[in-house]
Amino acid sequence: MTLPTRQLGTLTVSAIGLGCMNLSHAYGTPPPADEGARLLNRALDLGVTLLDTAALYGGGRNEALIADAVGHRRGDYVLASKCVLGLREGKRILDGSPEAIAWSIDQSLQRLRTDHIDLMYLHRADPAVPIEDSVAALVRAKEAGKIGALGLSEMASDTIRRAHAVHPVTAVQTEYSPAVRNPEIAVLETCRALDIGFVAFSPVGRGLLAGGVRDDAYASGDLRLSMPRFTGENLRHNLSIAARFADLASSLGITPAQLSLAWLLARGAIPIPGTTSVAHLEEDVGAAEVTLPAEAIAAVEAILPPGKLRGARYPRAAQAQVTTETFPDEELA
């Protein structure tokens, strides 16, 4: 199968990619490796040509899974990974020093069993290291043939511009969905001005806009347990909004997840939904065939204007590593 394509610099990718994190990290116990492999291969069969992973995900296990599952199909997809964030002895670390970046890239290449990663992101900006120094480390890796394009994740507009001045940035990745509108403050405009592609992670609101969250009885290890908007009274308020969103999707003859993804496609983003379910994967990919009329887009934005959800989107420690702009009245942990 084929999907519509979009450009990330010189890279041609499917309009909807696959975020691979869920297969190894963050949402409770990950599926067995054979199930993860089945999903990855099904994604490629459906025409998905952008696979997004990171050194952080499962402490490298996600990269190894991709190598095991679809390494033999390396020519079928654009491979994106990330450095700077990682796991050390089970604890999340942030290190944007050139030495750490060089080491991380080499480790990723080993786990992915490849000599080239098409797109390498700085997963976060390290406040202890000038962004120019971190980008320069990526440039050296590119000159050595280890990586292709350069990307940034969850960074503010001014940081993007500083990075781009060192070397052209191909992609910026930030959480973006009808429920999380922070890129609209400045990042999207900056990407348009600099001709940088925009990739939206968590495009269905970490399940909230896909019917995947009904209460806060999450499995142990689910990161939503630590996210203020996904627990307690905040969640109950947010679920009432998600119900209105689902009603709108039903009136359009599509699923809530497809409505969220189609809304992002209409705004020029490349969403990378993640899932452990082949059925949900097929549902997500189906959004590429949805064209929303202007009144549906307006209805989405009336239900979920910026700041409509209650609760911070990150816990305090994670928010401290994010420089993407926040709204003046946004709740922060």
Q: Give me the CATH number covering residue 243.
A: 3.20.20.100
Sheet containing strand 50-52, strands side by side = 18-19, 50-52, 78-83, 117-122, 147-153, 171-175, 197-201, 270-271
Closest of 129, 33, 29, 118 to residue 77, by C-alpha: 118
User: Does 189 score more than 90 pLDDT?
Assistant: yes
Confidence of residue 179 (pLDDT cuts 50, 70, 90): very high
User: What pLDDT does residue 209 have?
Assistant: 98
Residue 284 lies in a domain: yes
Q: pLDDT tens for residues 144-168?
A: 999 999 999 999 999 999 999 999 9
pLDDT of residue 219: 94
Residue 332 contacts residue 322 (beta carbons within 8 Å):
no
For residue 215, give Cα distances in angstroms to 129, 211, 236.
40, 11, 8
Instruction: Give a yes or no: residue 326 inside a domain.
Output: no
Asked whether residue 95 is domain-assigned, the answer is yes
Identify the band that residue 16 occupies on the pLDDT scale cut at 50, 70 and 90.
Answer: very high
Report the alpha-carbon distance of residue 51 to residue 119 in Å, rounded: 10
**Residue 325: inside a domain, yes or no?**
no
Tokens of 291: 């064209």
- What is the chain's mean pLDDT, rounded? 97
pLDDT for 284 equals 98
96 vs 91, which has greater pLDDT? 96
Predicted confidence at residue 91, as pLDDT, reads 87
Phi, psi of 191 (to 5 degrees): -60, -40
Is residue 332 domain-resident?
no
- The whole domain housing 14 covers 5-319
Q: Hey, what are 127's tokens?
A: 């406040």
Which of 27, 57, 176, 314 is flagged as catalytic? Answer: 57
DSSP line for 229-287? GGSHHHHHHHHHHHHHHHHHHHHHTS-HHHHHHHHHHHTT-EE----S-HHHHHHHHHG
**Percent over 90 (pLDDT), the chain:** 98
3-class SS of residue 87: strand
97 and 129 Cβ atoms separated by less than 8 Å: yes
Q: Of 72, 73, 71, 55, give the one whose Cα is nearest residue 63.
A: 55
Q: Is 57 a catalytic residue?
A: yes
Q: What total of structural domains would you count in the chain?
A: 1
Is residue 331 domain-resident? Answer: no
For residue 333, the model assigns a pLDDT of 80
Mean pLDDT, range 75-104, rounded to an integer: 95
Does 176 have pLDDT greater than 90? yes
For β-strands 147-153 and 171-175, DSSP reports them as parallel
Q: Is residue 118 part of a domain?
A: yes
Residue 205 lies in a domain: yes
On whether the pTM is more than 0.85, the answer is yes
236-248 pLDDT, tens digit each = 999 999 999 999 9
C-alpha to C-alpha distance for 204 and 180, rounded to whole angstroms: 10
Residue 2's pLDDT band (cuts 50, 70, 90): confident
Pairing of strands 91-94, 85-88: antiparallel
